[in-house]
Amino acid sequence: MTGSFERCTWVAGVNYEDMETFDRFTQSFGHSSVFPIFGFIDFGANRPTSEQDVKTWTAFANVEYSLNESVVLQAGVRFTDQERDFRGCTFDGGDGTWALTSFLIQPFLGSTSPAQVQPGEGATTGLAPDFNPVPTGHENSLNEDNTSWRVAVNWAMNDETLVYGNVSKGYKNGQFPTLSGSASSQLVPVVQEELLAYEIGAKSTLAEGSVQLNGPTFYYDYTDKQLLGALEDAVFGSLPALVNVPDSHVQGFELIATWLPIEGLKISPSVSYDETEVDGNFRNFDAFFGGKNGGTKDFSGQDFPQAPELQANLGISYNWEVRDGWTAFVSTNVNYQEETTSFFVDECKEPGVPCTKTDAG
């Protein structure tokens, strides 16, 4: 529904979505590291699989009010309710090696009645006390709701420049992983991510329309941010997985330009600076575990993995008409980004525990 009165316009509505997903990949482990434990020189293929049924409904409303000819106020709200049903695990690839490995793992975990599935069936071990796998895959569910909102102001200083500011709260839905896991505990989902964002910026058109500049600055305050961390696997040691970081933030700026100096030539430079940090207390399994560096570590105060502070880009393209209906073009693109890490890094913060720092670059 939409409507307007005087200097105000509004829109409101509801939406319902029912989605089914199926995600599977096949992997094999010739000359695997499990050889010293189980004696498999060529560990056969397996198939991590995730099936999900996701039902989402939302109700939303947004309003814009023109305070005067140059200032517009905006406000919006959205309520979202989502039910996510999951079934999945790591299935045997068909040759029976992963099915047998699962059977051999269970006594190590404390099972007194281990069970072996058939080739091709789900072999990810279950929960205590028997740790038996479920041939058709483990089932779980995640039901969450949230209310997101946004308030903003746009100020048209003149015909060429718009200054804006906004404060908003948004959410990223929780999700179940699709990963190579030997235990059902690794299939626990990450919960929804909450973001409180502050942004101020400007958009300008200069040089009679041949130059456009956009320049936002921002501060993002996260709760339960979903980041790449690691999970401990009883057989394979460390496996990558999404984890929730309780408190963290990002602050920075972007500058994006487009320049059209002559007909057909386009030059597009951009630069961004993002300072990321884990706030408060956060511990996670060490992705580079080993010896005295094993177990969980204190990763408080670290930058986000795979989040370089400085990034820059320059794109240049030129196109021209060769003949009627035929156009040729040439283009080039240059990217730069500062170094970053793949995972959180052990900084030897554990009191009284000697260690050797790891390199996650």
- What total of structural domains would you count in the chain? 1
**Residue 17 in domain:** no
Host domain of residue 335 = 195-361
Is 185 a member of any domain?
no
> What's the predicted TM-score (pTM) here?
0.85
Q: How far apart are CA 56 and CA 15, in angstroms?
A: 8
Interval 131-189: pLDDT, tens:
999 999 999 999 999 999 999 999 999 989 999 999 999 999 999 988 877 888 888 89
CB 148 within 8 A of CB 167: no
List the one residue out of 150, 16, 168, 175 whose CA is nearest residue 80. Answer: 16
Length of the chain: 361
Q: In the chain, how many H helices and how many E strands?
A: 2, 16
Q: Which residues of the chain have pLDDT under 70?
A: 30-43, 234-236, 289-294, 352-361
230 found inside a domain: yes
Residue 336 lies in a domain: yes
Gap between the Cα atoms of 168 and 151, Å rounded: 6
Whether 125 is in a domain gets the answer no
The answer as to whether 45 is a domain residue is: no
Per-residue confidence (pLDDT) for residue 177, from 0 to 100 = 85
3-state secondary structure of 36: helix
192 secondary structure, DSSP code: P
Q: Please check whether residue 98 lies inside any domain of the structure.
A: no
Q: Which residues pair with 242 in a beta bridge?
A: 228
The answer to whether residue 329 sits within a structural domain is yes
Tell me the sheet residues that pair with 92. Answer: 46
